[in-house]
Amino acid sequence: MTVILTPPDPELRLLVSLASWTWPGTGPDGHEVAHILITHTPALATPDTVEARMRRLSDSLGCLAGPREVVLEIDRCLQIVGDQVLVHIPGASRRLRLPTRRAWTELVAHNGDAVLLLGLDPLPQSADAARLDAYLDAALAAERLLFGRARTR
């Protein structure tokens, strides 16, 4: 018997190398807003490779904006299934499942959208709140975050 092993699609390799976080926050207008941060996990990839992958992800989602640009509304890429929220990435056969809490999921369902932040530098999924805050501060100062407004399907 012959078994042919094929490597996973590039899209699948990217999806399994992503880390994500969700939290509620306050928008500029004072209303509660859902936030999503997606980064690449530290892996056996160079910083240039990580950035290139994350920029390709941004392009497939609809060209997210830099921190000094107008935040664009991207396609309906969030799907709520029960208590889960999934990100649909155009062209990918699978969806990225976000870590959620009930209140955050209800906020997304109520608002119909969330602010999506895409980090161009790696961050491990194991990062705690302090490390996450430090990452966001540093990435924002260095203009290493891309932004979009993700809507529900």
- Local structure of 128: helix, strand or coil: coil
Domain that holds residue 134: 10-152
Within a domain: residue 46?
yes
Within a domain: residue 93?
yes
Q: What is the pLDDT of residue 37?
A: 98
Residue among 84, 108, 92, 114 nearest 17 (CA): 92
- pLDDT higher than threshold 90 for residue 13: no
User: Strand 84-88 relative to strand 72-81: parallel, antiparallel, unpaired?
Assistant: antiparallel
Q: What is the mean pLDDT of the chain?
A: 88
Q: Is 0.95 surpassed by the pTM of this model?
A: no
Q: What is the pLDDT of residue 41?
A: 93
The DSSP secondary-structure symbol of 65 reads B
pLDDT (tens digit per residue) in 58-117: 988 887 888 888 887 887 899 999 989 999 988 788 899 999 999 999 999 999 999 999
Q: What is the mean pLDDT of residues 4-11?
A: 47
Within a domain: residue 142?
yes
Q: What is the pLDDT of residue 11?
A: 66
Domain count, the chain: 1
Q: What is the pLDDT of residue 10?
A: 45
Within a domain: residue 2?
no
Q: By percentage, how much of the chain surpasses pLDDT 70?
A: 92
- pLDDT higher than threshold 60 for residue 43: yes
Within a domain: residue 139?
yes
Within a domain: residue 4?
no
Residue among 142, 148, 143 nearest 37 (CA): 148
Within a domain: residue 1?
no
- pLDDT higher than threshold 80 for residue 6: no
Within a domain: residue 3?
no
